[in-house]
Structure 1
Amino acid sequence: MMYKLPFFKLLFSLSLILLVSSVYAQQDSTTSKKKHKKVKEPPHKGSMYLSPVPVIGANPAFGFIYGAGASASWYLGDPKTTKISNALAGVAFTTKKQTIITLKSTVFGEDNGFILLGDWRYLNSSQPTWGLGTGPQSARLADNDFGFDDGSIEGNSEADMLEFQFFRFYETYLKRIGSSHFYAGIGAHLDLFSNFTDQLLNLDTIPKVITPFYAYNEQYGFAQDKSTLVGISLNGVFDTRDNVNNPYVGRYAMMNVKFNPKFLGSDQSSTQLWMEYREYFNLTENHNNIIALWAFANLTLAGDLPYMNLPAVGWDQYSKSGEPYSQGRFRGQNLMFGGLEFRKHLFATKKNPKFFGAIAYINATTASSKENIDLFQYIEPGYGVGLRFNISQKARTNIGIDYGWGSYGTTGFFLRLNENF
């Protein structure tokens, strides 16, 4: 399936970003003149940096996306001993009649005494339901039986979509252990999917048109119209990054074990494991050339998960994994992802020494299906390039435009606030 973004949309998005950046620069210049070149106040406890931007983008699952977003960064303590906190909020609509409302946050307490990780979402949305695992069978949207050998239906129109409403509330609290970079804590997790409407499913034809979503629910005993997953988690984090918005140095590691017992409200009991690692390598002392590494494993240790809660690309906290593929394009009982980015500073202005840069990335995804596909049996590559515009020096807030290519003719255009990781 090929998705092509019309050139004028790409040009329009780029023009808007340049306009926003120009407005910020003009505001800084005007403010500076009014204050007669008053020295800017250095960051301190309570400093806040707000960066509102238009939300414009496109990908195969959502079509053309438009709305408004904001990045808020602040210090809960002395910046010398406290890392900057960040929250990303957005309200977006799409040409496929979807509504997406998100609030995602990483908050550091005073002197880095604790971390709060938040992921709140409301979606009135739709996505195609691909086959499980990576490999050729994952490109099939439907079949005339529970297999994936013949009769596939290609394309990705509104008629192929699984429509649904979704509410997520994830909040994790981690306490710093002594004066180290280690944190440990617990989390609460709620996923509610409702009003499923499987547009491609047709049980009245001969042969029947069966989707992966319908087949999975029949095989593993889940309802076809809704699903609920309620969990508690045990978490450990190691974090030496200098900034969560756009790290120049440091590393990050996280382990999360999530228990989803039926007595808390989950449709079925299950256990999940999340393991993640990130590291940032400086090639020059001025942070103008950085290689960034991101890898994670999302594994089902016990039980069965609802189809939409199975490990999938694009369903991480900030929904940034798996470019150039759309959210949920690869899904399975187990999934692993790894990626490299080269980040290069290209152009400075008098007011902003990090104003403009570019990135190039490459990644790989593998997912399993309990029935017939093992991890690493098929590996799906992704690669692409992007531009970066810095709109807040002190918070290191960037606007990013990425374009990428992958398997099966996939292309994707993404607009981001802050770095992908």
Structure 2
Amino acid sequence: MRKQWLIICLLLPCMVWAQGKKLDSLQKQHYYPDEDTVPRLDMIDLFSDLFHIKSRNVPKRRGKVYYSLIPVPSTIPGGGNALITTTNAAFYLGPRRTTRLSNVSFSPSFSFSGRFSFAFHSNVWLEGNNRNIVGDMRFMVNPQYTWGLGKGGEGSKRELMDNNYFRFYQTFMRRIRPGLLAGLGYHLDWHSSISLPNNDSVTLPSYVKYDYGTMPHKQSVSSGVSLNVLNDTRANQVNPQSGYYVNAVFRLNPTFLGSNNNWASLYVDYRRYFHFGDERKQNVLALWGFYWTSLSSKTPYLDLPSIGWDPNNNSGRGINQNRFRGKGLIDLEAEYRRDILPNGFLGFTVFANMNTVTDAEHYRFTGFHPAGGVGLRIKFNKKSNTNIALDWGFSKYTNIVYIGLGEAF
């Protein structure tokens, strides 16, 4: 069964390559917010009117770079509250008809209880979409709950786990055929100060029944390279309105690059967007699915596939991050997005997701774990089509409020 999944996932990028030749025609159908002739409204307009700022005094909105900023208080894993500030800059590095929107985001968070996180993400498209450069850098001092492998215990059987985390990912891809890019990446995951601070009678290895990357107060280092294949026809990654996205990442972590153990993994991501009615109005059905698997027996515990730890940490809304972890993970999600007001200032979403993870002892998938939710959208920047996203996700395990910039996928 595992080999069949592996073959399907490896062939998936090739299956969609045939659609790459249709890229030019698909691009013409994409949503271009700055072409909208209907008066649109965003929060920048409201602030301009409130403080009587004329448009000629706001050059950043008229230029190629569009900024969005949101400082919000939010709950964090492990309990307590933190101030989270997200700044997003979206820009074009070429003609908009032939170059996709690039974006860079910076998200620091602080709490009075000593928790801290720093995240910097970038997704840059060079002119003509001939090159794509993706970066992900994070540093986190942020305890999180863990439930072990597979289904784990009930909510009351979780353990709070200390963990300092540094990540550095950088991927470079170039176009090899219309709509199809391939390239190499470097990935570093460095976990330190791993322990269960609230339980003196149990160690992490005995609790999770896993020996790799779980030794108390030891470091877990994974340093490796990746082979990446990408087919992306979306015009705007911040808020996709149509098109599809396929990404396959094969990662190899050898000890000679600094890893504690030799291990490998495969991640395959597919997304599809259907736009209905007037292309200048948001009326979108978005679908997302990914398969993530460890291909080795010595993958460190904190680097195993886990819900909420996809590249953008957006999977499984309504389920705690880390709630399900195993050597293999499948996640399926759907979301419907629509404007509430004709000017696009307010919108809503309805979403559902379900995931399944392999059990603790065998590579055998457990049953699906469903979740759902609703959300409100407030247009922050109409030029980049960036929304403030307020989501409430719920499941039988918990319910969580999410606040951020942009869509989950």
**TM score, norm. by length of structure 1:** 0.81
Which of 272, 287, 302 matches 2:296?
Answer: 302
Secondary structure in 1 matching 2:84: strand
Q: Does 1:67 align with 2:67?
A: no
The reply on whether 1:339 has 2:333 as its aligned counterpart is yes
Q: 2:131 aligns with which of 105, 111, 114?
A: 114
Within 5 A, what are the aligned runs for 1:14-413? Answer: 22=43, 24-27=45-48, 33=54, 35=56, 47-94=64-111, 97-134=114-151, 137-139=152-154, 154=156, 160-178=159-177, 180-203=178-201, 209-211=202-204, 215-218=208-211, 220=212, 223-225=215-217, 226-286=219-279, 287-348=281-342, 353-372=343-362, 374-375=364-365, 377-408=366-397, 410-413=398-401
Residues 23-78 of structure 1: CA distance to partner in whole angstroms, max 9, x if unpaired? 65232676774659x9x99977xx10111211332255453231322011011111
Cα distance in 1 for residues equivalent to 2:380 and 2:356: 35
* Aligned-pair CA distance for 1:120: 0.7
CA deviation map 1:71-127 (0-9, x unaligned): 110111111211110111111124653101101111101111111111110001111
In structure 2, distance between residues paired with 1:95 and 1:332: 33
Which whole-Å CA distance do the structure 2 matches of 1:110 and 1:28 have between them? 35
Q: 1:95 to 1:308 in 2, by over 3 A?
A: farther
Q: Give the stretch that moved more between structures: 231-240 or 22-31.
A: 22-31
Q: Conserved in 2, the CA contact under 8 Å of 1:59 and 1:326? A: no
Q: How far apart are the structure 1 equivalents of 2:389 and 2:272?
A: 20
Q: Which runs of 4+ in 1 moved over 3 A?
A: 21-24, 28-36, 40-44, 59-63, 94-97, 209-218, 220-223
Q: 1:299 to 1:96 in 2, by over 3 A?
A: farther
Residues 52 and 71, structure 1, Cα contact 8 Å, conserved in 2: yes
1:144 paired residue number:
none
| SS of 1:308 mapped into structure 2 | helix
SS in 2 for 1:344: strand
Distance 1:121 1:62, change over 3 A: farther
1 CA distance for matches of 2:323 and 2:120? Answer: 23
Provide the secondary structure at the position in 2 that maps to 1:191: strand
Q: Distance in 2 between matches of 1:41 and 1:224?
A: 49
Q: Is this contact kept in 2: 1:323–1:404, CA < 8 A? A: yes
Task: Write the deviation string for residues 153-203 of structure 1: whole angstroms up to 9, x where unpaired.
Answer: x276xxx4111211000011110124x110000000001111123124434
Partner secondary structure for residue 296 of structure 2? strand
Distance 1:333 1:324 in 2: 22
Number of positions where the alignment pairs a residue of Structure 1 with one of Structure 2: 366
Q: Deviations over 1:344-364 (max 9, x none)?
A: 11014xxxx221100010000
Distance 2:100 2:263 in 1: 35
Question: Per the alignment, in what secondary structure is the counterpart of residue 303 of structure 1?
Answer: coil
Q: Which runs of 5+ in 1 are unaligned?
A: 1-20, 141-153, 204-208
Q: 5+ residue gaps in structure 2?
A: 1-41
TM-score by length of 2: 0.83
What residue is the counterpart of 2:14 in the other structure? Answer: none
> Are the structure 2 counterparts of residues 126 and 175 from structure 1 closer, same or farther at C-alpha, using a change threshold of 3 Å?
same
